[in-house]
Amino acid sequence: MEIKNQTSKITDYNKEDVLSDKLIVVNVKDMKRKELELFADRMRIDRNSFLLRQEKFKELENRISELETELYFCNRNRQLEKIVGSND
């Protein structure tokens, strides 16, 4: 991780910075206190973003399951209507 401006707060992460699939390897022994704080902030943002993304993914999976069930019953009811309609 490269810290560009160590004097100002870094709050303007873009999509490239957050949620990247790249492994960040840093030698924290050589970091100053301010750099460590910024690095820890970055790690928290990545972790929290990942957890939020996982939560959203679970919600979408549940919604897909509901829609599949609804589609199944709609198709079943349509077929039953055809059968009942042809018997009349």
Other Cβ atoms less than 10 A from the Cβ of 46: the count is: 17
pLDDT in tens, 52-71: 888 899 999 999 999 999 99
pLDDT in tens, 3-12: 444 433 444 5
In a domain, 13, yes or no: no
In a domain, 48, yes or no: yes
In a domain, 68, yes or no: yes
d(CA 86, CA 72): 21
**Which pLDDT score is estimated for 9?**
42
In a domain, 9, yes or no: no
- Structure-token match 């039953």, residue found: 80
> Domain range holding 82?
28-87
In a domain, 23, yes or no: no
What is the total residue count of the chain?
88
pTM of the complete model: 0.48
pLDDT in tens, 23-57: 566 677 888 888 888 888 888 888 888 888 888 99
d(CA 26, CA 46): 15
The number of folded domains in the chain is 1
Task: Show the CA angle centred on residue 60, arms to residues 54 and 66, nearest 5°.
Answer: 145
CB 6 within 8 A of CB 38: yes
The residue that leads in pLDDT, 34 or 22, is 34
